[in-house]
Structure 1
């Protein structure tokens, strides 16, 4: 993977390099196993063992592949099946560090800790791009300019990435997403507002959730079987173990892959076309 693409105009002038849009879904085959090394694990959170950040997972092979990838859940590692870096891992590995692994003898001793900090920033940027892409799809012309700026930032050097003001950037992205949410949900009169509500374990099957505001809501183990969540805003909702069998999430707003991975669904759960169906739902 190269860092930029450029072209030559008919008059021979070289065009300004333009960063390639990063992939927004994890490709572990192009990563240095960063999430398995730099992130801390907690046994209580479903990771089999507790380990500090900066220590390779005991299941990580020398080729940066997981030894138990095919049996993570039965082996007691469901947390790994929920995590999604939004493609930040391969971006850091192949673009930011140009394919030079932390395992490489030429890498300085501090590079692993630096990669961990850079990965954290990159994952934030990629998550922003996931949401801005969704915003542009639902309301064309709203997220493209800011998405182009964020895309350019993903091509930065480690120092440039670590120097970013993520809070200010989140404020900008939040303004765009809030505007899109209000526009899209406006077609649903009398929608319910469950912003940051604690709905853990609640049976929500009798509620009309089309256009509902569920931002930041706690939906842990909530019963959403058969619910239609068209245009429901799920930004930041905690959906761990939410039962979405027979539910329609195909038009939910700002739904992410980690949220889907954490839910309990089935073959008849309707998902957005760009969302992968978790293997454990089978």
Structure 2
């Protein structure tokens, strides 16, 4: 098998492993993170304080009713598998309830691990992009470096300058995305980086290869839009309508972004992502 094919195959496998496994996590996202009463969360909660809906077995007591109970933000959140990594590897299965002395550090380590796992997701995807072949060696090195960091002891993870590592790494996979987008014919909608597209009517729009990095697409109508090879990292899709849109090959799209949006059975998705359950009703 050619090296590039092997790289892509490994990258797809890597992404498959970066999925949350709540059954092997100590409910870290339900404790370590701050909640602010809003349309996304029904309550205020300080970081380090367990959510009142967290059960003794570390599972959510209202998991099947999160949206109706006012916790739609919980259905959108994705730890990229960081929760089980911290719970089962970093702390070797020792939970913060049984060993309270681990709690403060564990809650500090979790968001660091989450950022590292998110970087692994983007790096793995960048390694599947044919046009980014000239960067594959650098991308592999960055992925391996990031992966090594995820296996570091808790003390090192707590002190890691993850923002600096993220800045260095992001510059690399974003270059990969630019190379891939350059293979798509230019359209009128090409440059929309950070654009305010809240409520925009983009139904049926040709957004192939568009740079929508960090764009505000809240409640935008993207039904039937062509988003193939569009760069979507950081784009806000809350309540955006993706019904019948084509997202195959969309760059740096995450499950959390899809979970925040609306869609239909006709929405076409990248192979690494799944159709959110709440789309069935739309």
Q: Which residue of 2 aligns with 1:6?
A: none
8 Å CA contact 1:38–1:112 kept in 2: the answer is: no
Compute the displacement of 1:107 (Å): 4.1
Compute the displacement of 1:83 (Å): 0.6
The runs of at least 4 aligned residues of structure 1 exceeding 3 Å deviation read none
Q: Which residue of 2 aligns with 1:178?
A: 174
Q: Which residue of 1 aligns with 2:209?
A: 211
SS of the aligned residue for 1:137 comes to coil
8 Å CA contact 2:39–2:70 kept in 1: the answer is: no
8 Å CA contact 1:118–1:162 kept in 2: the answer is: yes
Gaps in structure 1 of 5+ consecutive residues: 1-20
Match of 2:64 among 61, 70, 93: 70
Q: Root-mean-square deviation (CA), in Å?
A: 1.5
Match of 1:241 among 210, 223, 239: 239
8 Å CA contact 1:245–1:268 kept in 2: the answer is: yes
Q: How does 1:260-279 map to 2 (within 5 A)?
A: 260-279=258-277
Query: Is residue 2:131 matched to residue 1:160?
Result: no
Q: Which residue of 2 aligns with 1:7?
A: none
Q: Which residue of 2 aligns with 1:27?
A: 21
Compute the displacement of 1:178 (Å): 2.2
Query: Is residue 2:89 matched to residue 1:95?
Result: yes
Compute the displacement of 1:45 (Å): 4.1
Between the two proteins, the alignment pairs up a number of residues equal to 259
Query: Is residue 2:107 matched to residue 1:113?
Result: no
Higher relative helix content? 2
Query: Is residue 2:142 matched to residue 1:151?
Result: no
SS of the aligned residue for 2:127 comes to helix
8 Å CA contact 1:216–1:234 kept in 2: the answer is: yes
8 Å CA contact 1:100–1:107 kept in 2: the answer is: no
1:123/1:45 CA distance change after superposition, 3 Å: farther
Compute the displacement of 1:206 (Å): 5.1
